[in-house]
């Protein structure tokens, strides 16, 4: 026999969600107050959910309903055409796609195998420029933030930074990691990613003539310790190994590295050589992810 108190509570919760959904759709300009009332009348007459009734009346699309539900359950994402991010930031625009489901699987593995109390940092690395490390780092940062983890993405590629372009931040000449390591700026320039309340970014900052020397400074260790006090997950996007040895130092500072392999692009021999370099420097190779584009 069903519990009448539980049934009443469930009905009340559903009613509150319907009210919130109607309000959100009005705030987004998807519906008018008069249309909301029309939906509620149909709801009452036929015992439908708010979203079902609104769709039956042709007032909203399935995508509109999915986005409002995501907001209600603190799972932010963007509809195609909104925001200023490239379409390759799939976690922002296609959260229910097979590709993003794979990203969530990677996230789950990392949460189980790497991110534990006292372990918050991870480097993302590829053998060659164009292997997709920066794009994977950006998408992983989004899915970690969607989990509700306070996430920071650091663009540690001081030679050819990309994250400021992916997330539409200030120009390359803006302040960032290089300026922090050089003692020219503090961490107050951390940028919140628009539309993702739990995601912050530290861009590469000023272009400098001595990136490897900056990465090797003790100020990197101090900065990393400070960031670990503020964030749950810290991902370091690194330069390709073939273009700079900086990645070895950054990964050593992080303690672990996730390797990115591009299908039909990354040579297995080069990947094996990079893995060996990391192990010899005392960095744990947490795993590898194959991307295709």
**CB within 8 Å of 192: residues ≥ 6 apart:** 199, 200, 201
Count CB atoms within 10 A of the CB of residue 6: 9
Round the average pLDDT of the chain to a whole number and report it: 85
Distance between CA atoms of residues 114 and 103, nearest Å: 16
Total number of residues shown for the chain: 293
| Global model pTM greater than 0.85 | no
Q: Chain centroid to CA 159: how far? A: 22
pLDDT at site 11: 39
Per-residue HEC secondary structure of 150-218 comes to: CEEEEECCCCCCCHHHHCCCCCCCCCCHHHHHCCCCCHHHCEECCCCCCEEEECCCCCCCCHHHHHCCH
DSSP at 254: H
DSSP at 80: T
For the ranges 54-63, 208-217, 252-261, the lowest mean pLDDT is seen at 54-63
Summarize pLDDT for 18-44 with one digit per residue, the tens: 557 788 788 778 888 888 888 888 888
Count CB atoms within 10 A of the CB of residue 57: 14
Summarize pLDDT for 158-204 with one digit per residue, the tens: 999 999 999 888 654 488 999 999 999 999 888 888 778 789 999 99
């Amino acid at each position: 026999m069903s519990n009448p108190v539980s049934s009443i509570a469930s009905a009340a919760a559903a009613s509150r969600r319907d009210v919130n959904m109607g309000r959100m759709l009005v705030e987004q300009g998807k519906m008018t107050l008069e249309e909301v009332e029309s939906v509620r009348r149909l709801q009452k007459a036929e015992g439908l959910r708010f979203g079902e009734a609104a769709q039956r009346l042709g007032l909203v699309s399935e995508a509109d309903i999915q986005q409002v539900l995501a907001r209600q359950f603190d799972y932010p994402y963007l509809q195609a055409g909104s925001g200023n991010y490239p379409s390759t930031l799939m976690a922002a625009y296609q959260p229910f796609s097979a590709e993003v489901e794979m990203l969530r699987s990677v996230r789950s593995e990392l949460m189980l195998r790497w991110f534990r109390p006292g372990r918050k940092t991870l480097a993302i690395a590829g053998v060659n420029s164009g292997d997709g490390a920066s794009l994977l780092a950006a998408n992983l940062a989004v899915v970690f933030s969607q989990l509700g983890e306070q996430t920071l993405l650091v663009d540690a590629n001081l030679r050819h930074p990309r994250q400021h372009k992916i997330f539409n931040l200030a120009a390359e000449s803006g302040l960032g990691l290089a300026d922090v390591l050089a003692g020219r700026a503090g961490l107050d320039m951390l940028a919140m990613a628009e539309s993702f309340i739990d995601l912050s970014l530290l861009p590469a900052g000023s272009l400098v003539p001595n990136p490897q020397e900056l990465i090797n400074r003790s100020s990197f260790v101090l900065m990393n310790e400070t960031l670990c006090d503020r964030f749950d997950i810290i991902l370091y996007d690194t330069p390709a190994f073939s273009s700079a040895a900086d990645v070895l130092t950054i990964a050593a500072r992080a303690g672990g590295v996730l390797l990115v392999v591009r299908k039909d692009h990354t040579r297995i021999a080069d990947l094996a050589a990079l893995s060996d370099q990391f192990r010899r420097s005392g960095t744990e190779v947490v795993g590898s992810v194959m991307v295709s584009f």
